[in-house]
Structure 1
């Protein structure tokens, strides 16, 4: 699942491919924005953790899982 996180006062967004479900990512974001957690903590599909301070989150975009295509087939 592709997740894009916009951070205040940062020119670029954070983009990661997460193995978590959309519900798990949404729950983590709502906990961070609701004040239950000071950091938004997500794990990408390679096991790396991404930590973003909750008060600096501008937006979070949760996308569909990326389908990796292999070969030279017709599009």
Structure 2
């Protein structure tokens, strides 16, 4: 799962690939934004934890990973 997180007052977004499902990510974001948790905590596909303060989240984009095409086949 490809996840992009926009952080307030920061020009760059956080981009990561995660093994978590879209529903798990959405639940974690909802809990962070509702105030149940002060941090949004996600784990990337290498096992690293990404922690973002919930009050600094501008947006979260959840999408499927891009498939890389190899060769000279038709687009």
TM-score when scaled to structure 1? 0.90
Q: Distance in 1 between matches of 2:6 and 2:33?
A: 13
Change (3 A) 1:47 1:71: farther
- RMSD (Å) for aligned C-alpha atoms: 1.2
Q: Unmatched 5+ residue regions in structure 1?
A: none
Cα drift, residue 72 of structure 1: 4.9
Cα drift, residue 71 of structure 1: 4.7
Q: Distance in 1 between matches of 2:57 and 2:26?
A: 14
TM-score when scaled to structure 2? 0.90
What is the total number of aligned residue pairs between the two structures?
75
Question: Where has structure 1 moved over 2 Å in runs of 4 or more?
Answer: 65-75
Cα drift, residue 31 of structure 1: 0.2
Match of 2:22?
22
